[in-house]
Amino acid sequence: MMLLEHMGKAELAARGLPVPRGIVATSHDAAYEAAVALGGRVVVKAQIPVGGRGKAGGILRVPNPSAASMAAGSLLYKKLLGHQVRSVLVEERLNIVHELFLGLAVEPGSGRYLALFSDQGGINIEEVAAQTPARVRRLWLDPLQGLPADAARQLAAGLVEEELLPELEKILAGLYDAFRERDAIIAEINPLALLADGRLVAADCRIEVDDDALYRQPQWQTYKQSLLDERERRAQEIGVSYVALDGDVGLIASGAGLGMASLDMLRLAGLEPANFLDTGGGINRELMRRAVELTLYPGGVRGELVNLYGGINPMVEAALGIVDALRAMPRRKPLVVKLLGNRQEEAWAILEAEGVPVVKVVQTEEAAGKLAELLAGVGR
């Protein structure tokens, strides 16, 4: 889960790190008042949980409060990079003479920490890393040993002026504390701005928290819920995993691996998935009914593949739940079920009695192909 910029900066400020003065606004009037309070010349930044806002037009520099109001109005409640902008950060303009990059990340394989520094920060940091890798310093850290006292010097010596190293050391230490204490998997300051007066200021901040550690961060539970759309919240209530996609074919599978393979098979059959729901190992009749409603009922979905394996999951209960959902639909859409496992023959009989096409072989491509046949005459 990625924090909004102003939330990340609050974590830095709480540890004594320098951040710009800023005010969060949720209306154009509030943005006007914030700009007045900050001296007029400000930056208006869309607050969304994703990077790349600058290139997408989500960061606007304005000369006065009226322009700040207009900028906020152009961003608020619009879609940007797939997210609705619900708030903007109105921030003082900085007199930046150079942009640096400082970050920490967890390596998934080993669990080690990786500290990174570059003397070329900003929106093109990925290009810097690819084209001039020598300008990106890396330092591996042992989580059990903590941050070495000379970590900043190891990262930045020779890339920045010597007099900046003591301040950089303080900033790295504060970022490291936030990274550890908030169970982050990524914490970046980009850009870390060098100002004309010689100060270093965190002009932007990205902190991504480990979803599996959120139980230790209860202060962000409300924020986490706000990131979910209606269907994701319903999936959470049901107790299943749900991912929205861009196509028009629903998919339910009993397991992430089976689901990923099913996504591939659907695409090979010329179909584009609209969503993916993983039932996990807790299937019952009611769960299955609600899962079908969640994935098949939306207006843009033309049909669905249900791909289940009953090791611990009861297939008869699954079949009954599918039938319940179909009977409640005002207009049926094509649905194909591939179902194997415990009491599979009984489950097949229940589905076939309802007129549901059942695939009884192991190969998922058979089920995807069957669904493609059924959808061939159904308009998009």
In a domain, 61, yes or no: yes
DSSP bridge partners of 59 = 45
**What is the per-residue pLDDT for 134?**
74
360 and 234 share one domain: yes
Q: Domain holding 114: CATH number?
A: 3.30.470.20
Q: Domain holding 304: CATH number?
A: 3.40.50.261
Residues 96 and 193 sit within 8 Å (Cβ to Cβ) = yes
pTM here is 0.74
244 and 365 share one domain: yes
Widest Cα–Cα separation across the chain? 79
**What is the per-residue pLDDT for 353?**
96
Last residue of a domain, one of 40, 59, 93: 93
151 and 43 share one domain: no
125 and 260 share one domain: no
136 and 199 share one domain: yes
The count of other CB atoms within 10 Å of the CB of residue 213 is 13
**What is the per-residue pLDDT for 180?**
96
163 and 305 share one domain: no
Last residue of a domain, one of 204, 227, 250: 227
124 and 2 share one domain: yes
DSSP class per residue in 71-87:
HHHHHTTSEETTEE---
81 and 140 share one domain: no
What residue numbers bound the domain in which 26 lies? 21-93
What's the CA gap between 64 and 66, in Å, rounded?
A: 6
In a domain, 161, yes or no: yes
**What is the per-residue pLDDT for 379?**
53
> End-to-end alpha-carbon separation of the chain, Å?
34
Radius of gyration from C-alpha coordinates of the chain: 26
- Render pLDDT for 123-169 as a digit per residue (tens, 0 to 9): 777 777 677 777 899 999 999 999 999 999 999 999 999 999 999 99
Last residue of a domain, one of 196, 227, 258: 227
Instruction: Report which of 296, 316, 311 is spatially closest to residue 252, judged by C-alpha positions.
Output: 296
Residue 180, H or E segment: helix 165-181
89 and 101 share one domain: no
251 and 170 share one domain: no
Q: Domain holding 59: CATH number?
A: 3.30.1490.20
286 and 325 share one domain: yes
In a domain, 380, yes or no: no
Instruction: Report which of 96, 91, 73, 86 is spatially closest to residue 35, judged by C-alpha positions.
Output: 91
262 and 251 share one domain: yes
What is the total count of domains within the chain? Answer: 3
Identify the segments of the chain with pLDDT beneath 50: none
